[in-house]
Amino acid sequence: SSIPKIVILGAGYGGVLTSLRLQKELNYNEADVTLVNKHDYHYITTHLHMPAAGTDNPENARVNISKLIDEFKIDFVKSTVVQIRPQDRKVILEDGTLSYDYLIIGLGGEPETFGIPGLGEHAMNIRSINSVRLIREHIEYQFARFKREPHRTDYLTFVVGGAGFTGIEFIGELADRIPELCKQFDVDPSLVKIINIEAAPTALPGFDPELVEYAMQVLQKKGVTFRIGTAIKECTPDGVVVGDGEEIKSQTVIWTGGVRGNRLIEEAGFETMRGRVKVDEFLRAPGHENVYILGDNSLVFNPEGRPYPPTAQMAMQQGVNCAHNLVASIRNQPLKSYSFSNKGTVASLGKGEAIGVAFGKKYKGRMAAWLKKAIDIRYLFIIGGIPLVLRKGKFL
């Protein structure tokens, strides 16, 4: 019989970990593995809040895929997936077609706008290298514009919609960046506003209340204004409308209000909830024994029946499990079921400040910031070994 074809869509946390494991575990000529990604680089999503605010260079948040995978063992195709056809076992790319015996979907999520008018058109998102370069340049441009039109204080109002971890990490960096921009553009810092708007009754809903309180204090001291229990209802070219009709004028709205699965998955006919597939215990799409779904596109439930939040940590663990199951399938061995092992959560609040829960303990301040760095360096080590840690580690 012919060699089974494995196609992996997306070189994010899930896709890269699957690829790295497969290239290690598969024997020569046991399978044909192809990895498809829009760009020829992998981006370190967990670092994107920094280049978005301009506290770091976008270069430090990406790694060339050729530095990660062994191209003698895995074919890398730089292309954009436009359609998935599970009935025909084919994937349509912008410039070709691939057929597969096993498909791994790790295309990452998309911003969830909940149908709020104007968010898709007028707000920016922290998602990719391209999106953070845009945010960074946009913010600088507002300072330049203000110098020409000093009555337009809305140029200096920065609205962040959603106080989840993405929003909180971003405002931590932005608050660090503002004083530098004020110096560079000769702007009075008291004119600048960072407003974080959160619909839930608390920032970081569901996280440890004591740490949430600490985070808010740190960020308020840096000049952030919180509007908690206030929902964004609309986004316009002039700002946002919140609560019962109040308008906040701003030329910069960053939407960090949530993620959903990739639209290609529902378009392919898989059953989804907010674009995510409730996978079986082996991470396969129900009814499709040869399709694995990873990361932000998968929905995994905890023993209490509530979905786990989609994280890089989860996507990485799934990648390892998925590779194991692919090898087992090919060798006619039993599959291993997946269960999430939570190592903790650490979020940065800007330079030298963070909060987190890890190893069953709470951390805040310098210790937490150090832990965050250690987690980021560990990731570089996992995907690229010591050479990658040496090249990129110093920037984290």
Point out the residues that are catalytic.
169
Burial class (CB in 10 A: 0-12, 13-18, 19+), 70: exposed
Tell me how long the chain is: 396
Q: Which residues bind ligand FAD (CB under 6 A)?
A: 10-15, 36-39, 42, 45-46, 48-49, 80-81, 106-108, 126, 166, 169, 294-296, 310-313, 315
* Cα 198 to the center of its chain, rounded Å: 19
Pairing of strands 62-64, 74-78: unpaired
Residue 38 interacting partner from ligand NAD, ligand FAD, none (CB closer than 5 to 8 Å by kind): ligand FAD
Distance CA 283, CA 272 (A): 14
Binding piece for ligand NAD, criterion CB under 6 A, among 18-26, 61-69, 146-154, 340-348: 340-348
Separation in Å, CA 93 to CA 37, 98, 187: 10, 8, 48
Q: Give least dist CB 192 to ligand NAD, A.
A: 21
Distance CA 301, CA 279 (A): 9
Pick the closer one to ligand FAD by CB: 41 or 155: 41
Regarding 41 and contact with ligand NAD (CB under 6 A), the answer is no
CA atoms within 13 A on the CB side of 202: 12
Q: Identify the three-state secondary structure at position 339.
A: coil
Q: Which residues are bridge partners to 338 per DSSP?
A: none
Pairing of strands 41-43, 62-64: antiparallel
Supply 23's token pair: 């290239």
Q: What is the dihedral sign for C-alpha 154, 158, 161, 163?
A: negative
Burial class (CB in 10 A: 0-12, 13-18, 19+), 321: buried
Pick the closer one to ligand NAD by CB: 197 or 248: 197
Q: Give least dist CB 40 to ligand FAD, A.
A: 10
Binding piece for ligand NAD, criterion CB under 6 A, among 65-73, 81-89, 141-149, 193-201: 193-201
Binding piece for ligand NAD, criterion CB under 6 A, among 84-92, 198-206, 266-274, 319-327: 198-206
Q: Mind giving me the DSSP string for 301-314?
A: B-TTS-BPPP-HHH
Pick the closer one to ligand FAD by CB: 11 or 98: 11
Regarding 113 and contact with ligand NAD (CB under 6 A), the answer is no
Q: Give least dist CB 264 to ligand FAD, A.
A: 6
Q: Give least dist CB 200 to ligand NAD, A.
A: 4
First to last CA, the chain: 48
Residue 54 interacting partner from ligand FAD, ligand NAD, none (CB closer than 5 to 8 Å by kind): none
x/- string (CB under 6 A) for ligand NAD, residues 145-164? ----------------xxxx
Q: Give least dist CB 380 to ligand FAD, A.
A: 13
Regarding 371 and contact with ligand NAD (CB under 6 A), the answer is no
Residue 258 interacting partner from ligand NAD, ligand FAD, none (CB closer than 5 to 8 Å by kind): ligand NAD
Q: Give least dist CB 167 to ligand FAD, A.
A: 9
Separation in Å, CA 3 to CA 6, 22, 97, 150, 331: 10, 15, 18, 67, 12
Binding residues for ligand NAD (CB under 6 A) = 114, 116, 161-167, 169, 197-200, 205, 231-232, 256-259, 309-311, 345-347
